[in-house]
């Protein structure tokens, strides 16, 4: 982890690298989600092997709950990471602005207009970096939400198909299952 002093010295490229690191973490979270999907798939296999309709219904309830829980945890993690990243970026920008303002105070009156222009340019660039970071973070979170919604919809559709299949079995077939 980077110390706060080191964070203050980061340039735009460094901030972008932090974003890349965050993207890697998001990919790890996606792998966790894929693992949860694997568990869902396993539970669906168990349902198909179940010996009676009551067991199948119980397993279906657990599948839906597991998918929802995994989706909620994944999105909460993404939101927390996004919030932390945005707060850290804002702090770094503010700290850089304060350092420039201090330097501005140290500059002679003759050079003051030049220094003020430097500060304005820094603030404009910092705002662009912040907006870019926010857009990227928002895009990542939105993509994850869409993927989670699709997975949840797929799991629910499969649940409904299994329920319909179980309901369509005749009483004799139910006993055989």
Encode pLDDT of 139-150 as tens digits: 888 888 888 888
pTM recorded for the entire structure: 0.47
Quote the tokens at residue 10.
């980061």
Tell whether the model's pLDDT for residue 49 goes beyond 60: yes
Per-domain residue ranges of the chain:
11-176
Specify the pLDDT at position 86: 81
Specify the pLDDT at position 44: 76
Tell whether the model's pLDDT for residue 50 goes beyond 70: no
Residue pair 104/115 in contact by the 8 Å Cβ criterion: yes
Tell me which of 8 and 145 has the higher pLDDT: 145
The string of pLDDT tens digits covering residues 67-80 is 778 778 777 877 88
Element (H, E) at 82: helix 53-106
User: Phi and psi of 54, rounded to 5°?
Assistant: -65, -45
SS3 11: coil
Tell me which of 124 and 108 has the higher pLDDT: 124
């Amino acid at each position: 982890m980077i110390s706060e002093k080191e964070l203050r010295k980061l340039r735009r490229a460094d901030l972008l690298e932090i974003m890349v690191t965050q993207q890697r973490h998001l990919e790890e979270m996606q792998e966790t989600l894929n693992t949860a999907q694997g568990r869902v798939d396993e539970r669906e296999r168990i349902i198909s092997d179940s010996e009676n309709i009551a067991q199948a219904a119980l397993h279906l309830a657990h599948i839906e709950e597991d998918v929802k829980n995994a989706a909620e945890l994944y999105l909460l993690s993404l939101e927390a990471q996004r919030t932390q990243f945005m707060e850290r970026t804002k702090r770094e920008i503010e700290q850089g602005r304060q350092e420039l303002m201090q330097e501005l105070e140290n500059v002679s009156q003759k050079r003051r207009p030049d220094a003020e222009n430097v500060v304005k340019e820094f603030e404009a660039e910092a705002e662009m970096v912040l907006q870019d970071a926010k857009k990227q973070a928002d895009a990542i979170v939105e993509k994850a939400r869409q993927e989670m919604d699709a997975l949840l919809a797929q799991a629910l559709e499969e649940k409904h198909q299994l329920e319909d299949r179980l309901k369509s079995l005749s009483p004799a077939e139910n006993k055989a299952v």
